[in-house]
Chains A and B, each alone.
Chain A
């Protein structure tokens, strides 16, 4: 981005300031996508790992990435300077979040004290907002499930999410985990949804005071008497037990600021677009006056060629007649 900037130097009172604007339309659109919006659509997730990972943890991270294919970034190198729960160890995470524009992160690491550790965190303004640390047990990957492949959920479809258990209401840590999981599994926030396209569901059950069983299922809609079809769940995707280890709640001030919403503003009128009951959305396109006669023809039309042939013939005739005249003279 730094190569495509237009710079304007100007010497102000004390400090020299420079206005940098993007020279490229593509860069400008990217910057606008990353700017803070009034109403937010989905958050992107950053998936990365620490110094050591185990086989199961690798599987977990790659499957989470697969589940969130459209809105996730996967880093494969090890990052030994990231320690989310320590005060100085978040700088690298915040830098990555800023550069990739991700507000959710999943950090996996494996050690003897905390085996198969997963830290799920959220960012506010690219600074760490809150963290939940869980351990993964009894992980079953997508490959280990047998199901009819035609029913497999498509990438990017909006999932149903179900939380079961009184633990999610009573236990502080599970309440926090519920909120974070909802944010992680939600996907894009959309206004309209196609009823034919709902095909996945996540089920999280609180098994005990600190354990949650999370599984990903495909949906089968079966005919029932009413408009509402009968739902059937078939386990397809990864299933794992999450054991809550540590968590950090956001401080009150930050939480209040992050939960603020703006009152709904009237939608900006889009120009040249109107909607009709019969035809739907209609757009108007203005084209300048086409001067059909003046445009140069790209392919030499046959007529043009014939003209040249005839002109040549005429010339030849004239020359011949001239010669005749000369001879006669």
Chain B
């Protein structure tokens, strides 16, 4: 039996070993009968695993190693098992308009120095930046040419020209980036964003649509269909449209016997409010009192502002005695007001 097993093991030796991934695969093993207990199963799995890992280690430790501070360093071979990428392959950047032109004309790039000799001051100055060589503000005199108009400011003209050049350069840069974005090769740190539709009338800032509004847009468009959007096919995950406007509840057409007469209740409620049968329940005495007080104080304040400080103290000392009588009077008055409403 042991001889048989040994022979079997030798013929089935070829494990698939991938040192680049530290992976080993034994495609020949099978459990002819599952071991009875869990421990047995675990033990057998570990045994098989150990054999495989030994095979990988054989390959790994036999690679040429270099000595390092922490230990021997080996250079792994590239992994044999191919796994799918996580992102697409980066596309090469398309040549910009200038690069195409330069290639056609045969113009080569020349290395520029960081500092340039400045004749005016006799020193080495930067090519660009703070204290640069040919700055516009360092020009003392501009000689007039025959082609110049008399009333023109040559310094302002130089500045305008520079601005125009800068704008043109930015436009070209944007066009180059748009071209690259069309081919899917935008540089990683650049994002192109469309800000708004072209400005037609007023210079209004573009309105940002919120997430809730976007969710309601489909529902809003659906109400303009003949059936009010009830039978439109919905996308998976789309929520049913929220009902806009007042929520009205209609009574059922045919009332069952057990419900009672809901219609009678409804009309009763309306009528009671109109005729104010329970008028003493309608009036909120506390609220009426405060309303009256506030009105009185306002009047007193107005009078005070007109007359001066003499009336203020007298108002405070006056006892408010007519309050309760007026509250009682308020009963029929308020109901009259309600009727008028």
Q: Which residues of A contact B (CB under 8 A)?
A: 5, 8-12, 14-22, 28, 31-32, 34-38, 40, 43, 81, 86-89, 91, 103, 122-125, 129, 138, 158-169, 178-179, 182-183, 186, 189-198, 201, 203, 205-208, 213, 215, 217, 219, 227-233, 235, 239, 250, 255, 257-262
The answer to whether A16 and B27 touch across the interface, beta carbons within 8 angstroms, is no
- On whether the beta carbons of A161 and B72 are closer than 8 Å, the reply is no
Contacts of B49 on A, CB cut-off 8 Å? 162, 164, 201, 203, 205, 217, 233
Stretch at the interface among B2-10, B82-90, B133-141, B294-302: B82-90
Residues A260 and B194 in contact, CB atoms below 8 Å apart = no
Assess the A165–B30 pair: CB atoms within 8 A: yes
Chain B 60-87 interface 0/1 with A at a Cβ cutoff of 8 Å (1 = within)? 1110010010111111100101111111
Take A16-B196, A194-B70, A262-B89 as given contacts and tell me if A229 and B57 are in contact as well, using a CB distance cutoff of 8 Å. Answer: yes
In the bound complex, do residue A190 and residue B197 qualify as a contact, i.e. CB atoms below 8 Å apart?
no
Q: Which of A34, A168, A192 has the most C-beta atoms of chain B within 10 angstroms of its own C-beta? A: A192
Assess A255 versus B84: contact at CB under 8 Å? Given A81-B237, A193-B76, A227-B61: yes
Of the stretches B40-48, B249-257, B261-269, the one at the interface is B40-48
Q: Which of A189, A203, A239 lies at the interface centre, i.e. has the most chain B CB atoms within 10 A of its CB?
A: A203
The prevalent SS among residues of A at the interface is mixed
Which B residues fall within an 8 A CB radius of A?
21-31, 34, 38, 41-42, 45-46, 48-50, 52-54, 56-58, 60-62, 65, 68, 70-76, 79, 81-90, 170-171, 173-175, 177-178, 188-199, 235-237
Check B53–A12 contact: CB distance below 8 A: no
Q: A40-B85, A87-B236, A159-B22 are in contact. Are A193 and B74 (CB under 8 A)?
A: yes
In the complex, the answer to whether A195 meets B72 with C-beta atoms within 8 Å is yes
Asked whether, in the complex, the Cβ of B22 is within 8 Å of the Cβ of A161, the reply is: yes
| A32 and B196 alpha carbons, distance in the complex (Å) | 28
Contacts A/B (CB < 8 Å), 6 sampled: A19-B191, A168-B25, A192-B75, A203-B49, A232-B50, A235-B42
Q: Give A203 to B25 CA distance when docked, in angstroms.
A: 10
Give which listed residue, B21, B45, B86, contacts A164 with CB less than 8 A: B45
B29 near A228 with CB under 8 A, answer: no
- Bound Cα distance A289, B244 (Å): 75
In the assembled complex, the Cα of A324 lies from the Cα of B321 at a distance in Å of: 99
- CB–CB A21/B189 < 8 A: yes
Q: Can you name 14 extra interface pairs (CB under 8 A) apart from A35-B188, A162-B56? A: A9-B195, A12-B178, A15-B198, A17-B178, A19-B192, A88-B236, A122-B86, A160-B53, A165-B30, A186-B21, A203-B46, A203-B53, A215-B45, A219-B53
State the Cβ distance, B85 to closest chain A Cβ, in Å: 5
Whether A195 pairs with B189 at a CB distance below 8 angstroms is no
Contact A179 B83 (CB under 8 A): yes
CB distance from A4 to the nearest CB of B (A): 11
Given contacts A195-B61, A260-B85, contact A182 B190 (CB under 8 A): no
The residue from B29, B174, B188, B196 contacting A10, defined by CB atoms under 8 A apart: B174
Chain A residues with Cβ below 8 Å from B62 are: 227-228
Say yes or no: B53 contacts A18, CB within 8 Å: no
Of the candidates A40, A164, A192, the one whose C-beta lies within 8 Å of that of B73 is A192
